[in-house]
A = this chain, B = another copy of it.
Amino acid sequence: MTTISDVHMTPDEFRRAGHAVVDWIARYMEQVEDYPVLAQVEPGAIRARLPEAAPERGEPLEAVLRDLDEVILPGVTHWQSPNFYAYFPANASGPAMLGDLVSSGLGVQGMSWATSPACTELETHLLDWLVDLLALPESFRYTRAGGGVIQDTASSASLCALLAARERATVGRANVEGVTRTLTAYVSNQGHSSVMKGAGIAGIGRDHLRLIDVDDAHAMRPDALERAIVADREAGHTPFFVTATVGTTPSTAMDPLRPIGEICRRHGLWLHVDAALAGTAALCPEFRWIHEGLELADSYCFNPHKWMLTNFDCDAFYVADRAALLDALSILPEYLRTKASESGAVIDYRDWHVPLGRRFRALKLWFVIRHYGVAGLQLHVREHVKLAQEFAAWVEADARFALAAPVPLNLVCFRHVGGDEVNQRLMDELNASGDLYLSHARLDDRLVLRLAIGAPGTRRRHVERAWQRIRETAEAIAGGA
C-alpha cells in the first residue's frame, strides 16, 4: 500500500530530478535561437494535446519532460530568443533563475518581518542598493522617510501610487466620499494602459483620467498638463495625481520630469514616475539624464524583470514618504499581530502592496547583482543601446524606411514609407516566418514597427540578420504590390 512517505520526493530524488531539469534548461538555452520566435500554432492546438483527465497515479519526471518538449514547446513564444524584438524584453538569466529556485526551496512567506526577517531585510537592503546604482533621489531610501518594495509589476506599482495619492488627497477632508468623486488624474496619451486600469480599479473612474497631449517627440507637454489641471479645478474637480513616463511603451518617449514635477508641487498633486523599461539604463552614468528632475517625484518604479536580467516578477517601487502608502494599505487583524510589528522597529511589507502573502523575491535580485556586478550590468545595457543606435542609423540611411520617433535608448520605431498596409504585411510576414518577432504601435496616426533590443543573447549578428530579413521581406511585398 502506498503511504504518505512514498509520495513526496526525497532529498535524493530531488537531487536527481533537479539535475535533470537544470540540464533540460541548459539545453533550451543552447537551442533557443533555433526555434521559431513566435509560436506557430492555432488557438486550441495545445489544449487539444493535453489529456482530458488528471492522472490518478503519479507519473515519472521523464514523462513530464517529454511532454514539455512535445506538447508545450511548440506553443511557446520564445522571449529569450536573441531574435525577440517585440514589446519590451523580459530578461531571464542563470543567476536570477537560481536565486528564485532558492526562494522556492526555502518556501517562506514574507508578509510580516517576523515570518522571515531575512526576506524583509534583504529586500530593503537591495532596494537601497538600487538607489545607489541608479543614482535615485536620497528621499527614496528607507533610512529616510521613503522606501522601496518589490511589486510584481509596474501595473501594481501604479495602482499603489494611485491609492497612496488618493489617501493623501482625501484624508481629513470634511466629505471624503464627496471629494473622492471629484478626483482627476493625468497621464500623457502615450502613457501605459495600466494607469487607466488602475483608475478604474481604485474607483476614481476611467473617465476621470485625463490623457494629456504630447510634443513632436511624443513626450508630455507640461503646458497642456497645467492647463488641464487648472480647467479641472475651475470645473469643481480635484486634480490629485500625475503619472510621468520615462520611456513610454510605444516609443520610449521621455516626459520632462522637472517641469512636470514643478507643476505638481505648485498645484499639490502626487507625481508618480513610471520608468518600467528605461529605468535600468540609469545603471550607466551617461544615461542618467532620463531621471533629471526625479527628486520632485512622490513615487517611482522600474522593472528589473524587463532589462536588468532578473526574472519576472520584480518591479522596484519607491515612495518618498511611506506614510501615505501605509495609510492606504495597512490593516492589522489579530492573527497577524506580532511583537516585532508592534515595536515599530520593523517593516511589514504586506502593507506596501495589494497581496498579503509574498515570496522571497529579493534572492533573485541579489544573485543577479552579485553575479554580474555593477560593471557587468552596465555592459549589458550599453551593448543593447549601441546595437539600437546602429540599427537606427541603417534605417535612416535607407530611403525606403524612416525612423518614426527618436531613439534615446534601445527601442527603434520605424516604418516602411509604403504606408500602413505595407507595414502591417511586413510585420505579419516577418513574425509568421519565425525568424524574428516584432510588435507595433501607432504614432502620429501611422502604424509603426517596434524593434526593442533587450534579450540577453542579442548580438550584432542577430540585429544585422533582422535588418536583412526586414529589407528582403519589404522588397518582396513592395515589389509584388
Contacts and interface: CB of A to CB of B under 8 A. Distances in A.
A282 B45 CA distance: 31
A8 B93 contact: yes
Contacts of A336: 193
Given A43-B346, A71-B118, 8 more contacts: A18-B98, A50-B122, A75-B121, A76-B108, A77-B114, A100-B100, A155-B355, A156-B354
Contact of A77 (B108, B201, B359, B450): B108
A14 B18 contact: no
A465 to B, nearest CB: 17
A217 interface: no
Nearest to A357: B153
A374 B107 contact: no
B11 A15 contact: no
Interface string A79-119: 11000001100111111111011101111110001111111
A234 interface: no
A287 interface: no
* Most chain B CB neighbours (cut-off 10 Å) among A80, A117, A204, A336: A117
A340 B43 contact: yes
A19 interface: yes
Contacts of A375: 2, 56-58
A372 interface: yes
Contacts of A417: none
Interface string A176-198: 11001100000000001110110
A400 interface: no
A463 to B, nearest CB: 13
A75 B355 contact: no
Interface string A8-38: 1101111101110111111111100000001
Contacts of A73: 118
Most chain B CB atoms below 10 A, which of A12, A335, A339:
A335
Contacts of A441: 334-335
Contact of A18 (B26, B63, B108): B26
Query: Which 6 pairs between the two chains have the least Cβ-Cβ distance?
Result: A203-B203, A75-B118, A92-B107, A18-B22, A9-B94, A25-B105
